[in-house]
């Protein structure tokens, strides 16, 4: 054998060995990856058990990018360090959401046992849901916050409705004036609504002689003692009208009708979430939860009467009752939900500081104000609006930065964020904003809006878990945040998956437009059948 043949044979043998080694390594790697993927898939298919959630550190999911000295920041990009810091403040990861949901379930159970709990869990005395075959026309007055409506709801007996309504705005003077003036305003709006009916002529004499039955949607916490009696426990949503707290809301409205010489009988007092649930159940019978996500927030759901241990009345054979959770006060003790310094500033600036703190994290009345405090802080530290942030007097005005601005900003996908510029420069009077300023502003809106959606989802996950309805139910949701705020509903659904796993596919989140007024009319019409 020649030296060349030997060298060639040796090289060939080495190459074959190297190839076999590479194939073996690849085989081991592929098997390992398959095992890992199978393990991950098995884990993902299981919902997170709310009873076994461990306390987790939110910092674990914070972006790991930390700018170094060699990283060059584009003049059109926000400072990465600012973004990372804010992301850490406002991010609520999946483990934390599950912990929050678990804590809410525990608080719900406390509220069902005693009135001294943070979650009031108020029995509504509504013990049945409509079947969808009810008929007739009925009145409702729907007070949800800044806006309220007078409605005439006609039920067609096939799950459908026709609504005639008038919308009105409650001014700050009325919100913060006397209770008599506020309720007189409601009565006058009902009067003008009845007199303006194009289908049938109604006179002042008719208002005095004919009887009209009305359902009253009153979206504030009341101690409800019967279907048409409830005592106001406290104002929120910017209301502070005098001589109302501790009074029966039905009596306050009934007295106003008497002063207007109107023969209107308030046959049902309904919370807006209860109205939303009942209204949506008329067209979707598998609805067991009603949620409001708008100016304020709240939730109602169907509970087994045997679990409402504080309810001492005879349910007259009924097995279920709708519970008004008043979840706006959830975690007022601040033991489970992470809060930022901006959240605390917003809370201190309200008339009901240290209460309804959950509402102040997720409802439309407060999101813009949280954002404004962040922007003011960044102006002071020189991280945003360097050219003109200090020149804007509007930015320093409480509630000047509206949640509607956040919605508009998140909806802007233009290259130069021209609509963001319009909001900042024309509405907030901040001159000379840069593209980096506008991108940072949009990122802040996204962080605050996303947190609100995820916390809302945690609340719904808790309720569905408490009802043991993970196998399927519909949640009717009314309010501008769910309907109009960009990505809000999808962010909620994503969070539901993180908390409940595949069971989230069984929970249908549906828009329930104008449900609270229709629900009040339904309950007023069917008080004898739906109530205890």
Residues designated as active site: 149, 219, 272
- Count CB neighbours of 210 within 10 A: 13
Rounded Cα distance between 261 and 255, Å, is: 10
Rounded Cα distance between 50 and 136, Å, is: 44
Rounded Cα distance between 3 and 1, Å, is: 7
Beta bridge partners of 147: 169
- Count CB neighbours of 273 within 10 A: 33
- Residue of 270, 222, 187 whose CA lies nearest to 524: 270
SS3 content of the chain, % helix, strand, coil (to 5): 50, 15, 35
- Count CB neighbours of 96 within 10 A: 24
Q: DSSP for 433-502?
A: --HHHHHHHHHHHHHHHHHHHHHHHHHHHHHHHHHT-TT-EEEEEESHHHHHSTTHHHHHHHHHHHHHGG
Distance from the Cα of residue 143 to its chain's centroid:
18
C-alpha atoms less than 13 angstroms from C-alpha of 111 in its C-beta half-sphere: 24
**Cα dihedral angle (422, 423, 429, 435), rounded to 10 degrees?**
-70
- Count CB neighbours of 164 within 10 A: 15
């Amino acid at each position: 054998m020649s030296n060349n043949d030997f060298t060639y044979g040796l090289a060939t043998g080495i190459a074959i060995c190297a190839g076999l080694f590479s194939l073996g390594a690849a085989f081991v790697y592929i098997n390992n990856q398959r095992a890992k993927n199978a393990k991950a898939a098995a884990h993902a298919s299981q919902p997170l058990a709310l009873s076994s959630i461990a306390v987790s550190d939110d910092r674990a999911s914070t972006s790991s990018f930390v700018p170094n000295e060699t990283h060059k920041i584009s003049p059109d990009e926000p400072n990465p360090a600012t973004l990372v810091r804010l992301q850490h403040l406002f991010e609520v990861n999946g483990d934390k959401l599950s912990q929050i949901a678990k804590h809410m379930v525990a608080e719900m159970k406390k509220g069902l046992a005693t009135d001294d709990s943070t979650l009031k869990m108020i029995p509504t005395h509504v013990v049945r849901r409509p079947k969808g075959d009810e008929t007739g026309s009925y009145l409702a007055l729907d007070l949800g916050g800044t806006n309220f409506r007078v409605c005439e709801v006609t039920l067609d007996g096939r799950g459908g409705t026709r609504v005639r309504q008038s919308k009105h705005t409650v001014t700050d003077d009325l919100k913060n004036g006397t209770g008599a003036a506020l309720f007189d305003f409601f009565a006058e709006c009902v009067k003008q609504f009845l007199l303006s009916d194009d289908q049938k002529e109604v006179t002042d004499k008719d208002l005095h002689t004919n009887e009209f039955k009305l359902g009253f949607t009153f979206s504030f916490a009341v101690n409800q003692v019967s279907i048409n009696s409830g005592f106001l426990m406290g104002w929120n949503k910017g209301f502070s009208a005098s001589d109302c707290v501790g009074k029966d809301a039905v009596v306050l409205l009934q007295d106003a009708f008497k002063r207007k010489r109107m023969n209107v009988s308030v046959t049902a007092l309904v919370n807006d979430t209860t109205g939303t649930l009942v209204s949506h159940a008329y067209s979707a019978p598998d609805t067991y939860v009603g949620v409001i996500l708008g100016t304020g927030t709240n939730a109602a759901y169907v509970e087994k009467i045997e679990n409402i241990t504080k309810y001492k009345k005879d349910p007259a054979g009924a097995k279920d009752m709708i519970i008004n959770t008043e979840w706006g006060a959830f975690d007022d003790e601040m033991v489970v939900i992470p809060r930022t310094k901006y959240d605390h500033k917003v809370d201190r600036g309200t008339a009901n500081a240290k209460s309804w703190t959950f509402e102040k994290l997720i409802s439309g009345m407060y999101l813009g104000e949280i954002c404004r405090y962040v922007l003011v802080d960044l102006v002071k530290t020189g991280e945003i609006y360097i050219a003109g942030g200090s020149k804007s007097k509007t930015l320093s005005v409480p509630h000047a930065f509206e949640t509607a601005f956040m919605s508009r900003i998140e909806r802007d996908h233009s290259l130069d964020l021209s609509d963001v510029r319009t909001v900042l420069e024309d509405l907030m009077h901040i001159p000379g904003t840069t593209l980096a300023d506008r991108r940072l502003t949009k990122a802040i809106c996204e962080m605050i809006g996303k947190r609100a959606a995820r916390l809302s989802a945690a609340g719904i996950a808790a309720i569905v878990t408490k009802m043991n309805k993970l196998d399927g139910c519909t949640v009717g949701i009314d309010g501008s945040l769910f309907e109009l705020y960009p990505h809000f509903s999808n962010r909620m659904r994503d969070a539901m998956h993180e908390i409940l796993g595949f069971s989230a596919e069984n929970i249908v989140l549906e828009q329930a437009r104008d449900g609270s007024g229709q629900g009040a009319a339904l309950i007023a019409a069917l008080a004898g059948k739906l109530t205890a």
